[in-house]
Amino acid sequence: MLTTSNRGAIQPFLAMDVMAAANRLEAAGQDVVHMEVGQPGAPAPRSVRDAATKALRDGRIGYTDALGLRALREAIAAYYASHHGLEISPERIAVTTGSSAGFNLSFLALFEAGDRVILPTPGYPAYRNILGALGLEVVELATKAQDRWCLTPDAIRAAHVKSPIKGVLIASPANPSGTIMKSETLQAVIETCEELGIWFISDEIYHGLDYGMKPNCALRYSPNVVIINSFSKYYCMTGWRIGWMVLPEKALRSVECLGQSLYISAPMISQVAAIAAFDATDELEVIKHGYAKNRDFLMAQLPKIGLGNFLPMDGAFYVYCDVSSLTDDSMEFAKKSLEEAKVAITPGADFDPKLGHHYVRLSFAGTYGAMQEAVKRLGGWLG
């Protein structure tokens, strides 16, 4: 009998499942407000689309070096110099098919099957799913709202004492909470990892999307960290599947060879277009201003409709609401919100298998009008 693998039988990404259900309702003629997926409503900046159009007109779209076009790697290095005051050699930059590929590449380049990797919960579900499928042991460390959902050096030490840890992965600004790790905490976590011989992977995909407090780049504290970043969020390029990594020298060749065999190269058209994204700051800041307006609106309005139990969002475009006063089953709550209020939201189980049933995540990456409509519908639904 033919059987499929156990390691491939990973958990569904519920946000995507909710989106599929919302799309089915829309196809049946219903009007749905989308707050389930973290995807900018705006298209890629004009300069990006123009660069892609020109590349198409010029003709040949081919493979590139596995590590990416030199011009894009240089543009990314220039971003580190201008935004973070960091001199990073373009040689240390690998262009990837979205940050999602960066997870596969870094996990394969840094870890053996069976190694233990810490993920703070709540967190982005794909980390857990990819690590599991690759045969690594996921060590989920629960973080607390009182700590602004941030991992502490003590928690890492305690887990390492139990059984050695090989890696720690964090995102700041975080998904689903939008919280940003204070610089002192980030530095202390990185120093703890270095002292204990643990790789530190920093998912910086939400850099650029902050509303007061600025996140620091992990490279500021050590050249040995692995940075994963993307053009998907701040740069509004989700569907272009383009991201990057900054790697320690030691991991470079391995990531290059893995990239060659896993996907050859990131799409050339997206690479050419991404170079232009760094010239689109004015346009992108207007979009970010829209998120900030949405954030202020939700922070003021959600408490009025019984959804006030959340931490102020430092960055990204999500609110992680504690709905335990309304339900014990946020999966059912999200299902009803879609079916009855026609507002698509994501159940917390995506981000936290243990306590997620008390939470839902709402994305405020849509338009201001969509936020107003969502509050109106949810308010009516919750009575």
Rule CB under 6 A: which residues touch ligand PLP? Answer: 38, 98-100, 124, 171, 175, 203, 205, 230, 232, 238, 243
Closest residue to bound ligand PLP by CB:
98
Query: Least Å distance between CB 239 and ligand PLP?
Result: 9
Separation of alpha carbons 92 and 88, rounded Å: 7
Contacts of 323 (CB under 8 A, 6+ apart): 307, 309, 330, 333, 358, 359, 360
Closer to ligand PLP by Cβ: residue 13 or 381: 13
Listing DSSP states for 21-61 in one string gives HHHHHHHTT---EE-SS---SSPSPHHHHHHHHHHHHH---
Closer to ligand PLP by Cβ: residue 238 or 271: 238
Query: Least Å distance between CB 315 and ligand PLP?
Result: 11
Query: Least Å distance between CB 15 and ligand PLP?
Result: 8
**For residue 69, which phi and psi values (nearest 5 degrees)?**
-65, 135
Q: With contact defined as beta carbons under 8 Å apart, do 222 and 228 qualify? A: no
Closer to ligand PLP by Cβ: residue 218 or 375: 218
In 3D, which of 324, 345, 301, 263 has the Cα closest to residue 94? 263
Query: Least Å distance between CB 104 and ligand PLP?
Result: 10
Residue with tokens 């940075």: 227
Query: Least Å distance between CB 231 and ligand PLP?
Result: 7
Closer to ligand PLP by Cβ: residue 272 or 341: 272
Residue with tokens 């219903």: 30
Closer to ligand PLP by Cβ: residue 203 or 314: 203
Helix (H, G, I), strand (E, B) or coil at 227: strand
Q: Compute the C-alpha angle 157/349/218, nearest 5°.
A: 40
Closer to ligand PLP by Cβ: residue 238 or 301: 238
Closer to ligand PLP by Cβ: residue 301 or 346: 346
Tokens encoding 149? 């959902």
Q: Would you give the end-to-end CA distance of the chain in angstroms?
A: 54
Listing DSSP states for 59-74 in one string gives -------TT--HHHHH
Query: Least Å distance between CB 292 and ligand PLP?
Result: 19
Query: Least Å distance between CB 99 and ligand PLP?
Result: 3
Half-sphere exposure of 263 (CA within 13 A, CB side): 19
